[in-house]
Chains A and B, each alone.
Chain A
């Protein structure tokens, strides 16, 4: 059974700081890993999707890495902005189903 852990549960940083969010998982038999953003009371917005065969993906100020051997993924956010404040979820696309982490709640302070 896939277990997904996200650390830290919450993070507060000053604007402009670079930060790293962590996601660890127990089963490396996956099709892909996806990072989502969830704003309060809203749906999920896909940020980055990394295929099982890939090591990283980049989009603007975001960079996500995947290390299946260690069961870890990181989401790096450069030069954080107040608009980045949200909950960030990682989701493992496994062979049987998608498994989500509970998320890291990020607050970027102006």
Chain B
């Protein structure tokens, strides 16, 4: 069964450094998403991406964050200058028909980001 994959599974970085989290969505999906979950807190929506542009973003997704689909398979989340409060599990998801549809989103296993 096709699945969403994410790399790395765990990333440790120093405060102020740039990090890039990578995701490979399911191959025929058109909509891509990033979420984060700070330890012990709710899963939070960050951004959705369709047709090579951001379609929605939350208030969390400020200028420190960016997303890109650099090729036909990868979908990346970049944090330009990490802060301690960016430490969280970051989940990538994808689906075929967008989040307003009945089409379920498929989630990757997550990347745990630790900012020291």
The CA-CA distance from A45 to B3 in the complex, in Å, is 11
Q: What secondary structure prevails in chain A residues at the interface with B?
A: strand
Q: Mark A31-59, 1 if CB is under 8 A from B, else 0.
A: 11010100000111110010100000000
Q: Mark B72-95, 1 if CB is under 8 A from A, else 0.
A: 000000000000000000010100
Contact A89 B99 (CB under 8 A): no
Tell me the smallest distance from the CB of B94 to a CB of chain A, in Å: 12
The CA-CA distance from A10 to B102 in the complex, in Å, is 29
Q: Chain A: interface residue count, which band?
A: 20 to 34
Contact A46 B104 (CB under 8 A): yes
Q: Chain B: interface residue count, which band?
A: 20 to 34
The CA-CA distance from A43 to B108 in the complex, in Å, is 6
Tell me the smallest distance from the CB of B20 to a CB of chain A, in Å: 19
Tell me the smallest distance from the CB of A46 to a CB of chain B, in Å: 4
Q: Which residues of A contact B (CB under 8 A)?
A: 4, 31-32, 34, 36, 42-46, 49, 51, 89, 91, 93, 96-103
